[in-house]
Each structure stands twice: as C-alpha cells, then as structure tokens.
A and B are shown apart, each in its own frame.
Chain A
Amino acid sequence: MRKEKRVTDVPEPAPGGAEGASGAEGAGGAAGAVGQRWTRADAEAKVRGTFRYTADEPVGRVCYVGLQRASRPHARIVTVDTEAARAVPGVAAVLTGADLYRALGDRLLCGPAFGDQPALAYDKVRYAGEPVAAVLAWDLATARAAADEVYVEYEDLEPIHDVDEAAAGGPFVHAELRPSAVFGDLAHLSGRRETNVNYEYNLRKGDVDAETAGAATTVRGEFWSPPTHHVPIELPCTTAWPAGDRLEVLSATQTPSYVRQAVAELLDLRLNQVRVRSRPLGGSFGSKMYDRFEPLVAALAWLLRMPVRMEATREDAFLVTTRHGVAVTGHMSADADGNIVAAAADVRYDTGAYADIGPRIAAKSGMVACGPYRMAAARVRSRCVYTNKPSAGPYRGFGVPQVTFSHETLVDELARARGEDPAAYRRSHLLREGDTAAMGTVMHSADFVGCLDAATAAIGWDTPLRREEGPWRWGRGVAVGMKAVLTPTVSNAVLQLNQDATATLLISTVDMGQGSDTIMAQLAAEVLCLGPGQVRVVAADTDVTPYDTITAGSRSTYHTGNAVRLAAERMRDRLVFLGAERLGVTATDCKLTAEGVTSSSEQRSIGLPELIHGHFGARGTTLTTEASYTTQWVPYDHETGQSPRVTEHWFAGAVAVELGVDTRTGRIRMRHVALAADVGRAINPTMVEQQLIGSAIMGTGQALFDYIVFAEGQMINGTLLDYQLPSIKDLPDKITPIIIESPHRTGPFGAKGVGETVLIPFAPAVANAVREAVGVRITSLPLTPERVLAAIRENANGGTAA
C-alpha cells in the first residue's frame, strides 16, 4: 500500500462543461485497473434506454395494487367498508390492515430498528397518507380507481406534529415501544410506554458545564434542518409471486439481503423459500432500503396466492419515506488561547410515525454532533422522536448533514468571535491522525486538514475578494464534515473465473448510479491482471449472490470491495499454484501477469485459457473462489457514548464556497464551490468526481430551496410540481472536485467510500459564506430568498437574525 498522501486536483471543467471529469480511457490489464477511468458497465444501454431496470423485467400477468390512504394524521379506524370497491368490475380482491393482522398477527409489524410499522394500518392511522386498504385488480388503472371506493370511518385522535412537543409528552403515537430483533442493544427499550422518544443516545466527555463556565468565549445556536426528500427519478416498483412453496420477489431495493430476512420473518418462511432479486436502480439515496413496499406486496402475494405488483406514483414515493427534520440546540466554547474546551448538542430527530432506522441515525449522528475537533469536554443528547408524519429514514448522510449544520455554524461563529479566520481556526483545532475524537475513538485515515486546505485553496480563500458590486455582496465560507462508516457489517463475494479468462462476480451490492458494478470489476481486475469488460457483476439475487448487509452508507467500496479483493487474491493464488504445476516449477517462482502465470526463473508463461482448459480438460469451465469481509466495533457505553472503536473508518470532507447575495431579493448565486474528500484511494477517479459533483448539486437544493412542507400533518408539496429539485439552471458557476488520498491501512488498495462525504458539510459552507457576505447568521435551512432577505432586513433594523 502506498504511504504517501496524494492530492489529485482534477483538470478544471471547461466553461460549460467538465471534460476533465469524464473520459473513457480504459486501460488494459498491464496498466492496472485501480485508479483508471473505466467507463461504466452498460453505459450505452443506459443512454439508449434499453437497459432493464426493475420495472422493465418481464414478470407475466400481475395483479396491481391500488391503495386507500388515511385522510387524517392520527385516528382510530372504526370501520373499513370495502363493498363498493369489491363491486368494481375487474377487482380481484380487497384486503384491509385488519385482514393482514388476522393472518399474520404481530409479524405484520416490520421495521429495521423497531417492529412498529404494519404494511396496512389495522387499529389506528398514525400519519395522513398511511395505507389502510389494498385493492387488487388485473389492470393498474382499475386498481387505483377502485381504491377510492374504499370507505373508512375514523374516530379522530389528537395528533402531535411538533418534534419538541412530542419529545416533551403526549399524545403518544405508539402505545408502547417495540424494538426489533435486528439490534440487540435496543432490547432494553421494549415495552416502554407513554413516550414518543424511541431512542436516546448520550455522549459524555469531561465536564461541559464547568468548562463552559470557565471559558473565554462561548457561542450558542438553535438550528433547524427541515424534512426533505430523496426523489430518485426511478419510482419504487415491487412484484412478488408464489412459486410452489416459495415466494419470488423482484424489487427496486438497495437491501436485497435484508428484504429476504424481513419477508421470511413476516410470512414465517425459511430463508431458502424467499428469493429476492433487484436490478441496478435508477437512483435511491436511501429511499429504497429496508421495508418499503416489499412487506405489503409479499404478504398480498403469499396470502392470496397471486402475482402482485406495486407500481408507485411519485405521490406514493413521497409518502413512503422522508429525511428527518432535525432540531439542534448547541453551544461551543474556547479558552483564552482559542482551544475548544467544550461543545454540546441537544439533537431531536423527527422520525414521523414509524421509527424505521431513525434510532440508529440518532446514535450515529449524535456521536459526531460536536464536530471533528479536539475538545476537552463534550456532551450530546440525541433523541429520535415519533410524530404524526410520514416516516423518516435513511437519506444520503444518515442524519449527519443536519448536525453538521450545527457544529459548522458554531465553530465558524467561535472563530469570528475570537477575530480569527474561520479556515485557519478550524485548521488549528481539527482532529489529526492519532488524535482521540470526542466519543473515544482514535482517528486514522481522516484527513480533515488536507480537505480543508485543498478546498479553500481551490476557491482562492486567501486572495482578495471584491465584496460589493451594486446590490450584490460577496463572501466565502467553508465547512468540514465527519461521519463514521456503518459498523459492524458483513460482505461476501463469490468469484468465478471462466475458462476464457473472463470473470463473473457474484455480490449483493446494488449499483444505483454510484458505479459499484464498475468499481468491483476494477478491484477484481487489478488483482487478476484483467482489462475493461473482462469482469462482469451479477445483479443481486438472493438465490445466487451471497449475503451483504446493505448497499448504503458509502460502505460498499471498502467492505464489499475487500471481499472482492480477497476472493480475487484467492483466485490469483490458486492460478499461481496450478500454473507452477503445469510449468514444472515452484509456486514461489511464479506470479500472475497479463500474460498468465509466469515463471521468473524459466521466463515462460502459460495463459489462463490454456491453464484452466488443461486443469479441467474441458472448455467453458469455471474456477470458483469466495471470501467474506466483516467488521467489528466496540459498542459505545450507554451512559457516555464512549467507545475505543466505534467504527471501522471515517469519512472526511470539506466544502468551500464563494457566493454572492443580491441584497434586493435575497437571492444567492454561487460563483465557485470546491469539494474535497479523503477517499483513501480513488479506484475510479471519474466516479469519485461524479459523487463529489453530484453531492454539490444535491447539496445546492438542500442549502437553497429543497424541503417538505407539512400543514396539520398533511404533506402539501409531495409532487414534482410543488417540490423543487436542482435543475441544470441551478448549478454553481464553477464546481471543483478534489480527490484527497490518505490511504486506509485496511481499505482495498487503500480505498474508502465517497457517496456522502461532501454532501455533509455543503449546506453549512453556504450558510457561512452568506454570513461573510451580508453579515447575517441564518440557522434554519433552506436559505430561501425570503429567509435571506428577512434576515438582511432584520439585521439592518438592529435585530438579531434567525
């Protein structure tokens, strides 16, 4: 493994383009595969539209699902009248939540952290839009139309919408807490009543109150990051059908292994009775994972013994999961020398009506809520809170962007209060290799300083800036992000080397645009000295591809990548052994090269096709190896959050922004954003750059305009007419992606993931630049023109901006 740190500043995008960020120079085996810009698997089919996504797979005749949804946020279900719906010509069946509960009992209650969510509500509804009855028809339009003919009588219950009111008391969304069997450390919460707080994570280091009392400078803030939505353009689609004593499921999911387990438990089947297939996804960002439409469709198909298909509309997709709205109350203090002596964060995650993975998000984000800085004392209380809204779950960043908005605002204000440059101040106090972070884990391969320096240098941080141009005010801002990779997890890989020296890789990692099919092929090809197109990845199929925890949390390059690397190394060793035998030399004399197995002493090689053909005495044969890669942690202490090994590795990134604010309208124009991420090692620099640039574009929406509006529990902008997403006209004028390579000692060729790294500090970098440009500190996202203008006016009137 290379020890040096490398900063790869990619060629700057030409005006109106990013030629430097693309390119198709595939390299042959001799040049190595890692670090090459191989083009994506299936690129032409995807461009032309002939590539088959989940909904395009042939499934034969299916019965479509139409859903009757709750019209109120919190109500007891008195009766569900399905007679009229059943009478609609073409309707095959109508099932209510009560029907499913009669058949499945408490197994109907699904969820990754808490078993609290029924596929259809059966006793009460907990959010407006919750499915109450499913209508099945052999025609989609009929199913949807007939669903409107289901009549539900409700007895309204008092709803609770505000996360802080819900944290403080009732009404209660659930009668009692029901942690699932997935996470053993949640078991103690079982049966707890009269609370909406389903999980509380605590971090304690030192004495925050004493340190704060003795500090020279303290800054405080109240922060709000609103609920947002993933909006991958591919809509959810799930089909299931019984096949003898088995159930087949074809679903657009990032988590096929999880879905197999969940469906088997739901229907009381053995794992080998459930087959879950996924296809490469048309985007996901966390929206297509864990239990989405799979429990409903699987239950309907199994109970009715029919092929059943749910094709979501965009409105359905908005209701199935969201990103947590998060409130943070925080403060940060420095002594007279500027050392950070204390930081604190009280974090409230609004998880909506069902916990989903919210408790995990509250913990994983809570542990970094004070930021990537050296500090004497830290205190975090991070709670996951039920309210009567659609469920919130994982979304690119896993809750960390919301707490980063808090700590990156506070550290910025702390620097300003001390009269120091915000970048220089961060540089003095950022965690470095070997430092111990607030939760007790020693840092390795997390080059915050390198990212900070590269991002600020790219936008010319230390160069003069013309601050005023007519109504425009210009400023620069920076922010740093820190996230732990999901730990512990499991990945497996099976590698088949075909007799013609091509390879087939069986993994359950799902390519959803991040390019994992290409990355994994490059990793195997590097070890086996193969070239572009010689390694193909099989789409996830639980009958065929081995267990993988999830494709999420930027974990696949490291974890599945390591399993792939190990499987390939075993294959290499086997080939060397077989080759030495054939060449009549010792294995230590041989190595695998692009020519095949080569003997150093005899200067002879045998090609792989000849070698494998000779070994089996047949053409078309396959050699198989497999490998597993698992990670371990030391669970954090329940009282203090402390752990000597809370994660396998860290993601470190920084974003620097130069922007202007139009003081007449509050509109923001980003002139230059630079994004630096420590990726360990870039397996495919083009795909790393695409993740960085893609994060900047998604981050632009989250920083400036993208949020879900609820009114009395009703989602009122859950369509793409009303929900604004970044288009090509919302781009910053210039985007500079910067790859920092601080190799991880156990990453495959030093690599780590990058999918979330620079989305995490994006919004606070923008807010910090606005602070610099117009002198107002805005602590609620997004930074809409209205909000910016109001803050400017309030500031001009001598008030305090919020």
Chain B
Amino acid sequence: MTATTIEFTVNGVSQQVTVPDDELLLDVLRRRLGYTSVREGCGVGACGACTVLVDGKSTSTCLALAVRADGADITTAEGLPPGDPVIGSFVEAGALQCGYCIPGFVMMATELLSENPRPTPEDISEHLEGNICRCGTYLEIRAAILAAARRKAVTEA
C-alpha cells in the first residue's frame, strides 16, 4: 500500500498528514485529528453520522478516501462558529436525545441553508432523508432548521 502526503484545512486550520491510499477520511478526522463529531454508524454511507462538509458539500466520510481530500476545505460540527444559528436552534428546540447522530444532521442543515435559505418542511425532509436518528427526534430537528432559517434571515438582514 502506498502512502500519500496530503494537505487540507479542517475548520480553518491547515493540516498535513501522510495516509495510506485506502485510509478513510473518517479515520483521518476522528482518529488522527481528534474530531469526535465525525462518527462511524454504519460504514456504508447509510446513516449520516459521519457527515462533514468538504468544500461546502455534505460528504459521508465513511465512504470517502482521505487522499481525495487533498487541498480541500473541510468543516465539521466542531468548527461552526460561536453563535451559529443552526447550533443555537438545535439546542433551543431540544433537537436531540442521545445526541449521537445530531452533528451529522447539523452539517446537513448547514448545507441546506446555504443552498436554500428558506426551506419548506418538505425541503428539509428531502435533504435529511439519508440521516438516521434512532431516538426519533425528527420533528424537533425539522423545527430547529426552520427556526435557524428565520434566525439567519434576521441576522443577515
């Protein structure tokens, strides 16, 4: 197995790592760099718990090879700024139970609101279809995203 040295930024911090070509982005972010919000739930891209934004696009890191992230700008839930409307709305709406899947939903919501600042409940369901919350917090999550959209609109106005 060959190894490659790659450079990318995570939450604004540049990183350089040398990885085997088959190492997953999930393992680089979680095991090497300590981003605990990035979680393996299924290993097959079916639950969304490992979701991060790679150049603004939601990515299942359990299916992404780290070498492909060379030069990328990666955002994890830890990297959202203080006062981030999505984080704040999730907390205020009580949009969590065990909390394990929630950072993945937060990243999907962040992507959605950057593409569609005024999503309908149906838009939210379409966008979040690939994320599983086994505690069943979907209603609160949807309410939180609607609230975050309102909050963002006020802040940006």
Contact = CB atoms under 8 A, between A and B. Distances in A.
Contacts of B36: 49-53, 56
Interface in A195-243: 230-235
Nearest to B62: A314
Contacts of B37: 48-50
A567 interface: no
- Which of B37, B97, B128, B140 has the most chain A CB atoms closer than 10 A to its own CB? B97
A365 B80 CA distance: 47
B91 A18 contact: no
A3 interface: no
A390 to B, nearest CB: 18
B33 interface: no
A513 B43 contact: no
Contacts of A40: 94, 96, 99
Identify whether the interface residues of A are mostly helix, strand, loop, or mixed. loop
Interface residues of B, number: 56
Contacts, number: 198
A729 interface: yes
B67 to A, nearest CB: 16
Interface string B61-105: 000000000000000111010000001001111111111111100
A726 interface: yes
Nearest to B140: A22
A43 interface: yes
B146 interface: yes
A21 interface: yes
A720 B143 contact: no
Interface in A551-610: none
B139 A515 contact: no
B59 interface: no
B100 A233 contact: yes
Contact of B136 (A17, A22, A512, A698): A698
Interface in B122-140: 122, 124-126, 128-140
A297 B90 CA distance: 37
B113 interface: no
Nearest to A735: B139
B2 to A, nearest CB: 15
A694 B135 CA distance: 5
B53 interface: no
A17 B125 contact: no
- Which of B36, B39, B100 has the most chain A CB atoms closer than 10 A to its own CB? B100
A472 interface: no
Contact of B100 (A283, A721, A726, A729): A283
Nearest to A514: B97
A615 interface: no
Identify whether the interface residues of B are mostly helix, strand, loop, or mixed. loop
B112 interface: no
Contacts of B26: none
B99 A314 contact: no
B106 interface: yes
Interface stretch (A8-16, A542-550, A647-655): A8-16
A334 interface: no
B94 A698 contact: no
B92 to A, nearest CB: 5
A694 B87 contact: no
- Which of B38, B122, B130, B142 has the most chain A CB atoms closer than 10 A to its own CB? B142
B25 interface: no
Given A283-B134, A721-B44, A727-B129, A46 B102 contact: yes
Contacts of A157: none
B91 A43 contact: yes
B140 A21 contact: yes
A697 B87 contact: no
B47 A720 contact: yes
A699 to B, nearest CB: 9
A711 interface: no
B90 A47 contact: yes
Contact of B135 (A21, A513, A729): A513
A24 B92 contact: yes
Contact of A47 (B99, B131, B133, B134): B99
A695 B132 contact: no
Interface string B3-46: 00000000000000000000000000000000111111111101
A231 B134 contact: yes
Nearest to B46: A720
Contacts of A49: 35-38, 76-78, 102-103, 106
26 contacts: A18-B140, A18-B143, A24-B92, A37-B94, A40-B94, A43-B94, A43-B99, A46-B98, A46-B100, A47-B90, A47-B103, A49-B106, A53-B100, A230-B134, A234-B98, A314-B41, A314-B43, A314-B44, A690-B140, A693-B139, A720-B47, A725-B134, A726-B136, A727-B132, A728-B142, A731-B125
Given A19-B93, A44-B87, 12 more contacts: A16-B142, A24-B92, A39-B94, A43-B94, A47-B77, A48-B80, A232-B100, A234-B100, A282-B99, A513-B100, A720-B47, A728-B125
Going nearest first, the 4 A-B pairs with the smallest beta carbon separation are: A49-B37, A16-B121, A282-B100, A513-B98
